[in-house]
Each structure stands twice: as structure tokens, then as C-alpha cells.
């Protein structure tokens, strides 16, 4: 055989070898799941990734709601050293895509049939210019109220179905020396209360106008004044030491009988589950007063990185996240429900089954709404501006009318 033929043969063999050599999948994952329930849930993903031959480097950044994690992400990207996989939310997925930062996941999406498995509304959030650029982990419901079962029984109080009922219950609890509302004083937690209060007091159409369309008339309306009035009421129901408290410590107050209620998304249920508590027995769940359903989807986006091992890791992680096994095991721990359609919910508790049922109903009647507080409704610049006003009002004595004016001004300035 001539030398030339030999060389050609060798080069074909080596290129074949290169393309068939299997890179060991690796990921570095930036997320903000650091509470007890959150850490138990993320461990499900770590274990499954390892069971499939992957190596996981964890990059947890503490701070509920993810603000600190997003600051860490920006620093890493600016330093030219993006993590391979990042927990992101709704519109921020598009913002990172516009920066050219996200990998195209269409190959995995096609192989796994994501278009057939994911509901259209969820698939849409995870596509950038029509191509999958991120994957959904779950659906959290934000407009939930959690109650300590024995405290409420002691006070002869049922889970309130209107804000007036809530206020009456809270006044009664207060007169009995019980803290009505477990709350942590951090801006995103104040915004989480605001989400539910605004939906309950203003209704579905008002929520859409004010929080999704940022309509200035709705933002400056008398209805908004009433929303701030109810926020002021809630401020009167929290204990003196709430400032700076983490959300999971507020959940622990409800768990331990130090507060009767918490208004928080169903990641709070992950805390109850992790502590071995069951709904109906130890705690009660009910949607906050008013109609509708505020959704908050946790997603992972894969950032553009070099290296076969990293890219293999991204593909494996994306595939596992949408897989049925993971969607069930993770969400049982996390308090949320699977994003994947048709997942069997028989092992889930009644709060989760209620969430799934209400989501289907609200999707059919147009009341399925993106959570403003959890970055699903509007881009970061607007949610930051609105959150500032909400938290300033909650932590000062300004009137509802002044807060309403400030809200309009903040949104105008952010435009």
C-alpha cells in the first residue's frame, strides 16, 4: 500500500475515532436552591446526572428568588467564564439569548420530542427565535397561602377565601397573641405578597393590564390604591423581627406554630415535605383569595461553552430534566408540579393535584398568568423598578396614593 493511501486510511480512522469517542459529560450548574427542601430537590438531579455517567460541579448562590445568583452569573459571563448550565426565568432567557449567550438545544429537543411533551405555553418560554434554548424543570404556583393546622383549629379559623376574611382571621389571631403572618423582609418576598394581593383585589384583567402590559392607567388607578391598602394591612400582621429574614425561616415559623399563615409560592411546600410534614395534618394549603393562577416556571439554560465534555454534559442534563423520571422525583421534593404533560400525579399530595387542576382550568379560561414577582411577566428593568416601590411602601409609612404615584413614575422612568 502506498504511503499516501496509508495516510488517508489513518486520517479517516482517526477522524472516525474522534467523532465516535465519547466525551465524559460534565456540567457546572449555577442555581439558587439552597434551603432544605430546595437542596433535597436539586440532589435528585445531581444523582440522576451521576447515574448517567456525568460529573456535576455545583455552584449554589444563596438568596431566595435568585437575585444574588443573577449577579453572580453576570460576573462570570463578563469574566468570559460562563457556567455550563444556569437556572433562569421567563423573559431573562430571551435577554441572555439576545446577548448571544445561549446554546441551541434543538438536537436534543428533536430526539426527545419536546414539542409533543411540553404544553405550548411552556414550550414558548423556552424557545428563542423558534428554537429551544432552555428547558423547563417544573411549574410553581405563586398564589398560595399556607396555614398551621393546629393554630387555626385553636382559633376556629378556616383558610380564608376573601381578603376581608383574611383580615378578620388575622385580627382574631393577633388578639390571641399569635403572629398572623410569617414573612421575611426581603424585597422579592414583599413582591410575592404584592402578586397575590394585586390578583385578588384587582382581578385577572387588572393583573394583566398592570403587571403584564404595564399599562400606566391601570398602574395609577384607584384599584391600585386599594391593592396598597391591603399591603398595608398585611404589614400590620407580621412580627417585629421580619426584616431580612429568609423565606424558609418564615415557613419554619408556620411549621413550628410561631405564625399562623405564610403567603408564598409552593417551594414552601418543599420545606414542609423535607421536614416530614403532611398537608391536611400539619399544615393547610389554599390559593390566596381571588381567582386565577400565577405561574412561575424554573428553567435551565445552557450557556455557550467550549469543550466536548461540557457540551456532552449540557445535552445530557437537558435530556434528563425533561425526562419523566426526573420530572416526578424532583417535583415531589420541590413542591411544584411537572412541566411535562401527562406525568402521573398519583404520588403527589392534594395541594399539588389542586395546583395541576387549577392550572388546567385557568389555562382554559384565560386566567393563567405569569408571576411578576418571580420574573415571569416583564423584563428585569421593569420588575426591579416595581419591586423597589412595593418594598419601599411596605417598609415605610407612605400612603397608598403616594405609592401608586411612585409606581407610575418608576415604570415611566424604566421605559
Report the interface residues with ligand BGC, using CB under 6 A: 32, 38, 64-66, 140, 247, 267, 296, 298, 374
Minimum distance of ligand BGC from residue 246's CB (angstroms) = 9
C-alpha cell at 317: 442534563
Pick 26 or 334: Cβ nearer ligand BGC: 334
Q: Cβ closer to ligand BGC: 165 or 246?
A: 246
What's the CA gap between 372 and 295, in Å, rounded? 9
CB of 36 vs ligand BGC, minimal distance in Å:
11
Smallest distance, ligand BGC to C-beta of residue 138, A:
8
C-alpha dihedral over 233, 282, 289, 393, to 10 degrees?
Answer: 30
3-class state of residue 291 by DSSP: coil
The pairing of strands 55-60 and 26-31 is: parallel
Bridge partners, 102 (sequence order): 303
Q: Which is nearer to ligand BGC, 85 or 151 (CB)?
A: 85
CA distances in angstroms from 397 to 220, 391, 400, 401, 413, listed in the order given:
19, 11, 9, 12, 23
Asked if 184 and 293 count as a contact pair (C-beta separation under 8 A), the reply is no
All three cell numbers of 131: 428554537
- Decide: 279 and 252 in contact? Cβ < 8 Å: no
Closest C-alpha among 413, 410, 402, 411 to residue 231: 402
Q: How far is the CB of 48 from ligand BGC (least distance, A)?
A: 18
CB of 137 to ligand BGC, least distance (A): 8
Q: Which is nearer to ligand BGC, 247 or 372 (CB)?
A: 247
**Nearer of residues 267 and 283 to ligand BGC, judged by Cβ:** 267
What is the DSSP code (8-state) at residue 210?
I
Residue among 189 and 221 whose Cβ is closer to ligand BGC:
189
103 contact partners, CB below 8 Å, separation of at least 6: 133, 301, 302, 303, 304, 305, 311, 314
Between 97 and 140, whose beta carbon lies closer to ligand BGC? 140
CB of 177 to ligand BGC, least distance (A): 30
CB of 266 to ligand BGC, least distance (A): 9
Exposed/middle/buried for residue 166 (C-beta within 10 Å: 0-12, 13-18, 19+): buried
Least distance between ligand BGC and beta carbon 224 (Å): 24
Nearer to ligand BGC, 219 or 297 (CB): 297
Using CB atoms within 10 Å of the CB of residue 58, give its burial: 0 to 12 exposed, 13 to 18 middle, 19+ buried.
middle
Amino acid at each position: 500500500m502506498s504511503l499516501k493511501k496509508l495516510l488517508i486510511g489513518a486520517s479517516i480512522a482517526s477522524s472516525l475515532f474522534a467523532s465516535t469517542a465519547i466525551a465524559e459529560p460534565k456540567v457546572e450548574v449555577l442555581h439558587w436552591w439552597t434551603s432544605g427542601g430546595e437542596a433535597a430537590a436539586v440532589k435528585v438531579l445531581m444523582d440522576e446526572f451521576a447515574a448517567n455517567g456525568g460529573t456535576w460541579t455545583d455552584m449554589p448562590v444563596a438568596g431566595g428568588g435568585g437575585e444574588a445568583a443573577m449577579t453572580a452569573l453576570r460576573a462570570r459571563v463578563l469574566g468570559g467564564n460562563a457556567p455550563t448550565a444556569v437556572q433562569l426565568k421567563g423573559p431573562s432567557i430571551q435577554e441572555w439569548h439576545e446577548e448571544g449567550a445561549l446554546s441551541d438545544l434543538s438536537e436534543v429537543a428533536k430526539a426527545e420530542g419536546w414539542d409533543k411533551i411540553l404544553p405550548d405555553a411552556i414550550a414558548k418560554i423556552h424557545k428563542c427565535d423558534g428554537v429551544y434554548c432552555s428547558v423547563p424543570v417544573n411549574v410553581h404556583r405563586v398564589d398560595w397561602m399556607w396555614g398551621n393546622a393546629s393554630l387555626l383549629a385553636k382559633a376556629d379559623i378556616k383558610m380564608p377565601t376573601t381578603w376581608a376574611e383574611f383580615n378578620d382571621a388575622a385580627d382574631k389571631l393577633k388578639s390571641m397573641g399569635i403572629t398572623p403572618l410569617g414573612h421575611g423582609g426581603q424585597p422579592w418576598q414583599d413582591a410575592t405578597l404584592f402578586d397575590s394581593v394585586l390578583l385578588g383585589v384587582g382581578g385577572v384583567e387588572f393583573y394583566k393590564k398592570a403587571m403584564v402590559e404595564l399599562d400606566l392607567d391601570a398602574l395609577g388607578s384607584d384599584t391600585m390604591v386599594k391593592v396598597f391598602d391591603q399591603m398595608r394591612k398585611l404589614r400590620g400582621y407580621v412580627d417585629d423581627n421580619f426584616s431580612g429574614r429568609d423565606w424558609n425561616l418564615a415557613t419554619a415559623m408556620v411549621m413550628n406554630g410561631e405564625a399562623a399563615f405564610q403567603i408564598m409560592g409552593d417551594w414552601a411546600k418543599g420545606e414542609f415535605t423535607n421536614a416530614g410534614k403532611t398537608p391536611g395534618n400539619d399544615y393547610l394549603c389554599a390559593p390566596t383569595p381571588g381567582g386565577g393562577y400565577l405561574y412561575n416556571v424554573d428553567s435551565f439554560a445552557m450557556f455557550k461553552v467550549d469543550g466536548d465534555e461540557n457540551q456532552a454534559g449540557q445535552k445530557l442534563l437537558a435530556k434528563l430534566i425533561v425526562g419523566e423520571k426526573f420530572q416526578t422525583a424532583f417535583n415531589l421534593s420541590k413542591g411544584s408540579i411537572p412541566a411535562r404533560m401527562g406525568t402521573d400525579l398519583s404520588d403527589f399530595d392534594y395541594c399539588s393535584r389542586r395546583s395541576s387542576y387549577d392550572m388546567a382550568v385557568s389555562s382554559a379560561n384565560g386566567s393563567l398568568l405569569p408571576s411578576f414577582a418571580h420574573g415571569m411577566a416583564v423584563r428585569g428593568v421593569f420588575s426591579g423598578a416595581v419591586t423597589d416601590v412595593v418594598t419601599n411602601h411596605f417598609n415605610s409609612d407612605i400612603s397608598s396614593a403616594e405609592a401608586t404615584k411612585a409606581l407610575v413614575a418608576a415604570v415611566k422612568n424604566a421605559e
